[in-house]
């Protein structure tokens, strides 16, 4: 609808310019003065619109900055929660079977009784290769269980 209004204004202005086709220097000067006044009014309107748009843009900038800060904060919270959720995870390489063999390894090689260790779940990750089994991620019920296994594994190395 605004487009039609502008088109009508432009049409009226061109009609008014056509009216300035008369003769006489004073008449032409008056037409130029009138056209200059109309152009000044249009420029004033455009300046006012521009001022409003700049104000709206500043408001939107503030909004975008607040949204970006929120996204950054939420990304940090997600990273923190993900890290806390993986705290009890232990990655084990070179084991062909999963839970049964892991339990036997913990009992026989590390000397930890089965009653002390609870494994919530085990899964493999990564792509299959012909020579080596994929690594296993074991999620222990408690962080202290994972730490106990790591401690015993370090003792086994020495």
pLDDT digits (tens, 9 = 90+) for 74-104: 999 999 999 998 999 998 888 876 667 788 8
Provide mean pLDDT across the span 40-62: 96
Q: What is the pLDDT of residue 22?
A: 63
CATH class of 89-157: alpha beta
Average pLDDT over residues 4-28: 60
- Rounded CA-CA distance 61/52 in Å is 14
Distance CA 59, CA 47 (A): 18
pLDDT band, residue 18 (cuts 50/70/90): low
- Beta-strand relationship, 119-124 and 136-140: antiparallel
> 12-21, 46-55, 84-93, 118-127 — which is least confidently predicted?
12-21
């Amino acid at each position: 609808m605004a487009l039609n209004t502008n088109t009508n204004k432009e049409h009226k202005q061109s009609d008014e310019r056509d009216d300035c086709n008369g003769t006489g220097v004073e008449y032409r000067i008056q037409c130029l003065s009138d056209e200059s006044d109309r152009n000044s009014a249009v420029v004033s309107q455009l300046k006012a619109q521009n001022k409003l748009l700049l104000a709206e843009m500043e408001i939107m900038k503030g909004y975008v900055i607040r949204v970006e800060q929120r996204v950054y904060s939420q990304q940090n919270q997600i990273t923190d929660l993900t890290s806390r959720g993986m705290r009890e995870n232990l990655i084990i390489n070179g084991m062909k079977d999963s839970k049964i063999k892991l339990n036997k390894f913990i009992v026989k090689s590390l000397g930890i009784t089965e009653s002390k260790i609870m494994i919530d779940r085990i899964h493999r990750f990564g792509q299959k290769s012909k020579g080596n089994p994929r690594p296993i991620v074991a999620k222990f019920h408690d962080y202290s269980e994972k730490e106990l296994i790591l401690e015993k594994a370090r003792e086994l190395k020495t």
